[in-house]
Amino acid sequence: MDYFLVVLLQIVGAVGNLALISVGLAVIFGMMRVINLAHGEFIMLGGFAAIFSVQAGINIWLAMLVIAPLSIAVLGVVIERLVMRRLYGRMVDTMLASWGLSLLLIGLATTFFGNRVVGIAAPVGSFRIGDYSLGAYDFVLAGIVLVVFAGGYAVLRFTRAGLIARATMQNREMASSLGIEPSRVYAITFAIGSALSGLAGGLLAPISGVLPTMGVAYIAKAFITVITGGASVITGTALSSTLLGSINTVSTFVTTPVLGDVALLLAATIFLRLLPTGITGRIFKGAP
Amino acid sequence: MKISRRLFLGGTAVALTAPWVNRGFAADDITIASIYDLSGGLEIYGQPIDACLDLAVSELNEAGGLLGRQIKVQKYDPQSNIQLYTQFATEAATSLQAATVFGGITSASREAIRPILSRYQTLYFYSPLYEGGVCDRNTFLTGSTPSQTIGQLMPFAVKNFGKKVYVLAADYNYGQISTKWVRDYTAQAGGEVIAAEFFPLDVTDFSAAIQKIQREKPDVIYTLLVGGNHMSFFRQWAAAGMAGQIPIVSTSFGGGNEHIVLTPAESDGVMAAFGYFQEIKSPANEAFVKRYHEKFGDKAPYVTEHASATYNAVHHWANGVKKANSLDRMAVIEAIESGSTVNGPGGPSTIDPKTHHCATDVHIGRAKDHSFEILESFANQPPADTAAVCDLVANPNDNQQYVIQ
C-alpha cells in the first residue's frame, strides 16, 4: 500500500519534471512555429546561472526562481534579435540555425565553465511514507510547475496580452492589419519561452547537477512532449506530460529505465499515428 | 602543454607535406605517442592521466633519458570521439613511427586502436582499470581488473554489511561485464545479488531506482555508475534522506572525481576499491604526490587509479627499453616479459608475463570530506580473472579479448 502511494507520488514528480522541461519549448514552438533546438542549452545555461548565483552567496530560491529565468530571457532577446528574427516562417532554417546555436553554446560553456558537473544541494529535506523515504524537492518542483501552468493559462485565456498573443499565433497577417506588431509579439514570446527554459534549468540544478552537454538529455523528451501535446501550448503540454510522464514512470518501476524510455517513445509514436496533430489537435481544440 | 586544435592541424599539415622534417628532428629523440581524451565528455578522466604521463616522462628525461636519448611525447587528443582514435593510432604507428603508444580510456576506444597497433607492430600500453580479458602479446595493461578490486571489495562488503546486494550499473560493456563479476564474487563470499539495474549514460533521474531499493531493502548497494549524469544518483539519494542509511560500495566511484564534485553530505561514506588512491600513506606515494603538485600546481586534478597506472606504464616501458638496450618492439616485449616491477605510487606493480597484466596492491577507501580515507590494503593481487583464460607464454600468437563467463 505504501509502495503504491510512493509510485503515485513519483508519477506526480515525473509529470512535473516533464512539463517543466517542455514548457519553454512549447511556448516558442506553439506560438511562433520556431523549433528551438538550442532549448536544452537554454536549460543548461539556466542551471549554470542558478549555481553561480548560489556560489556567489545569493539565496537559492532567488537564484532558481528569479536569476536563472531572467538571465536566459536576456539571452533569448539577444538571440531573437540577432538570429531568429531573420528566419521567421522558415521552419527548417530555424531548426538548422538553432542547432548550430546549440553546438556553439555547448562549446562556449565547455570552454568557460569546464567540462565537469557542478551541483548544489537540494534546498528542502525529505519525508517518510511508511518504510519509504522520499525527497521533498520533487514535489516543491511539481507545485511550482502547477503555478506556472495555471498562470500561463490565465494570462492566455483572460488577459488582453494573451488575446494578442493568441491572435498573432492564429493569423499573423490579420493580427498585423488590426494594428498589432507581430515582430514585437514574437520578441516577447521568445523571451518568455527562454525564461521558462532558464527556470527549468535553475530548478533542475539541485536534482541533476549541471554539465555543458546536459541539454542533449532533455531536448528529445521535451520535443516529443510538445509534439504529442499539439497546437495548444498550455493545455497540450500539460496533457501530454501527464500521459507520457505516467507511462514512463510506471514502466520504469515495473521494468528498467531503458524500457521506461522505450515505453515513452512507443506511446508517443502511437499517439502521433492516431492523432497526427497532437492531442489538442483533436480534443480540447482551441484551448490556450 | 595542451595541443590546440589549430596547432595540431598545422602540425599534421607539416607532417603530411614534409615527412622528412618530422624524421629529421626526431633523429636524436625517442618519439612516443599518447592518445587520451583531453576534451569532450571524457576529459575529466583524461586530464590526470595526461599529467601523470608527463610526470613519468619528465622524470626519465631528467635522469638522462633512455639509451642516452631524450623522450619526446607526441600528444593526440581524440576529443572523446572513437573515430579520431583510429585515425590517430594509424598516424602514430605510420607517419610518426612512434616507439610505443600509450592510449585509450574507455574499453571501446581500446578495442578500436588495439588491432591497428597490433597490425602495424607498434607496442601498446593501456592503463585504465577495465573489465579484464584482453590477451595480446603486443599490449601491456597496467590497470586493475575485476578480480583484483571486486574480488577484495565483495568479501569486505558481505562480511561487514550483509548478504543482500543491489547493483546499479552503467549500461555498456564495462557495467555489464563488471556486474557479472559482482554476482560471481558475491556468491563466493556467501552473499546474493538480489537485483541489478542498468542505466544508459544519459540517465539523470534515479527516483524510481531509489524507491525500488527501499522496497528491496538490500544490506549493501554496489554502484558501477559512470560519468557526470550518473552522479545524480548520489544527489537524489541524499535528497531522499537515504545518505548513510544503506552502505554503498563501488569500483567506479572516484575514478571520475565523484568525491570532489559531490558535496560531502552526498558522497561521504561511499566505499571504493582501487589500485590507487591519492591519500595512500606511504613514503613512495607522499613523494610522488609532492612531485606531482610541484610540477602541476596545487590545483592539479586528483590522481586517479587510471593516472597512477599510466605513470607505472611509462616506467614499465622504460624498464623494458633499458633491459633490451634497444627500441626494437620484440626485444622490448621480451625484456618486459622477463620481469618488470615498478615501485609506483600505489605500491609495486609487477608484470605477469602470461597475461601482460600487472599484479598490484589494492586498497579500499571511504569517501570523507572530498577525499578518501584508506580502510584496508591488500598486497600484490594477481590478475586472476584474465590469467584463467589467457596464457601468452604458451600461446604467443593469441590476440583477442576473452569474455569471462
Which residue blocks in B301-350 are alpha helix, DSSP H? Answer: 305-324, 329-337
**Domain segments of chain A: what residues?**
2-214
Q: Are B362 and B148 in contact (CB under 8 A)?
A: yes
Which CATH code is given to the segment(s) B5-143+300-359? 3.40.50.2300
> Which of A116, A255, A265 is the best residue to mutate to test the B interface, defined by the most B CB atoms within 10 Å of its own CB?
A116
User: Which residue out of B197, B204, B234 would a mutagenesis test of the A interface target, given it has the greatest number of A Cβ atoms within 10 Å?
Assistant: B204
pLDDT of B340 reads 95
> Is A125 within 8 Å of B241 when comparing Cβ atoms?
yes
Query: Which chain A residues are Cβ-neighbours of B263 within 8 angstroms?
Result: 119, 121
Chain center to CA of A141: 13
Task: Yes or no: say if B190 and B154 are a contact pair by the CB < 8 Å rule.
Answer: no
**Quick check: B211 and A134 CB within 8 A?**
yes
Contact B41 A115 (CB under 8 A): yes
**A134 touching chain B per CB within 8 A:** yes
> If you measure CA to CA, which chain A residue comes closest to B230?
A208
- Intervals of CATH 3.40.50.2300 along chain B: 5-143+300-359, 146-274
CB of A253 within 8 Å of a chain B CB? The answer is yes
**Does the distance separating the beta carbons of B40 and A208 come in below 8 Å?**
no
CA distance, residue A84 to nearest chain B CA (Å): 28
Quote the pLDDT of residue B17.
Answer: 47
In terms of DSSP bridges, do strands B30-35 and B100-103 run parallel, antiparallel, or are they unpaired?
A: parallel
Residue type, A186: Y
Is B195 an interface residue toward A (CB < 8 Å)?
Answer: no
What pLDDT score was predicted for residue B251?
93
Q: Along the 405 residues of chain B, how does pLDDT read in single tens digits? A: 455 655 555 555 544 444 444 444 445 899 999 999 988 778 888 999 999 999 999 999 999 999 999 999 999 999 888 899 999 999 999 999 999 999 999 888 999 999 999 999 999 999 999 989 999 999 999 999 999 999 999 999 999 999 999 999 999 888 998 999 999 999 999 999 999 999 988 888 898 999 999 999 999 999 999 888 899 999 999 999 999 999 999 999 998 888 988 889 999 999 999 999 999 999 999 999 999 999 999 888 999 999 999 999 999 999 999 999 999 999 999 999 999 999 999 999 999 999 999 999 999 999 999 999 999 999 999 999 899 999 999 999 999 998 866
Instruction: Report residue B125: phi and psi, to 5°.
Output: -120, 125
Residues of A in contact with B211 (CB under 8 A): 3, 6-7, 10, 132, 134, 253
> Which residues in chain B are closer than 8 Å to A132, comparing Cβ atoms?
211, 214-215
* Cβ separation B231–A260 shorter than 8 A: no
Contact map slice: A 86-125 vs B, CB within 8 A: 110, 115-119, 121-122, 125
The alpha carbon of residue A77 is apart from the nearest alpha carbon of chain B, in Å, by 29
d(CA B44, CA A115): 7
Which pLDDT score is estimated for B26?
45
Please tell me if residue B356 touches chain A, with a CB cutoff of 8 Å.
no
Q: A10, B211: Cβ pair inside 8 Å?
A: yes
**Amino acid letter for position B213:** I
Measure CB to CB from residue B44 to each of A116, A135, A253 and give the nearest one: A116
pLDDT of residue B1: 45
Query: Which of A118, A134, A256 lies closest to B240 in CB terms?
Result: A134
Residue B232, min C-alpha distance to chain A (Å): 5
Please give the grid coordinates belonging to residue A87: 528566419
Instruction: Scan for cell 505516467, then name that residue.
Output: A246
CA distances from A84 to A64, A173, B40, B318, B373 (A): 26, 19, 28, 58, 53
Is residue B51 within 8 Å of B73, Cβ to Cβ?
A: no
The answer to whether ipTM exceeds 0.90 is no
**Length of chain B in residues, anyone?**
405
**Fold classified for B146-274:** Rossmann fold (3.40.50)
Residues A122-139 as b/e (b if ≥16 CB within 10 A, e otherwise) read bbeebeeeeebbbbbbbb
Buried b (16+ CB within 10 A) or exposed e, B343-368: ebbbbbbbbbbbbbbbbbbbbbbbbe
A216 vs B contacts (CB less than 8 Å): 202
Q: Which residues of A touch B236 (CB under 8 A)?
A: 135, 207
Q: How many beta carbons lie within 10 A of that of residue A159, not counting itself? A: 11
From chain A, pick out residues whose CB is under 8 angstroms from the CB of B39. Answer: 110, 115
- Check B232 against A208: CB less than 8 A apart: yes
Q: Which residues of chain A register pLDDT less than 50?
A: none
Contact between B85 and B103 (Cβ < 8 Å): yes
Name residues 120-179 of chain B within 8 A of A (Cβ): 171
Residue A237 C-alpha, separation from nearest chain B C-alpha, in angstroms? 20
Alpha-carbon distance of B287 to B306, in angstroms, equals: 19
Considering only residues 10 to 69 of chain B, which have any Cβ-Cβ distance to chain A shorter than 8 Å? 39-41, 43-44
